[in-house]
Amino acid sequence: MTDTAEIYGLFDPDTDELRYVGKANDSSKRFKGHMREVRRRKTPLYDWMRKLLASGKCPVCRVIRICAQADWPQAEREE
């Protein structure tokens, strides 16, 4: 386990609107996980992702903040 956590966001590729905030030790691996889960999960996030993918687009994943592991719950809420 690392000493830091990444607070990341999934952004709309057209509007740059922040659609989801999450925490990961490695946001690029977590994003790949989201992309694998899109076919089977039924939530508003994955509904949005399926619509994007059907139109040939993909969410944009960006690290918003890097924080200490102990501080990530507060950091995620602040974003």
pLDDT tens digits for range 5-25: 999 999 999 999 999 999 999
Instruction: For residues 30-44, give the mean pLDDT.
Output: 95
Instruction: For residues 53-74, give the mean pLDDT.
Output: 92
Burial of 8 (0-12, 13-18, 19+ CB in 10 A): buried
Instruction: For residues 38-52, give the mean pLDDT.
Output: 96
Closest CA to 63 of 34, 35, 32, 26: 26
The model's pTM is: 0.88
Name 66's bridge partners: 6
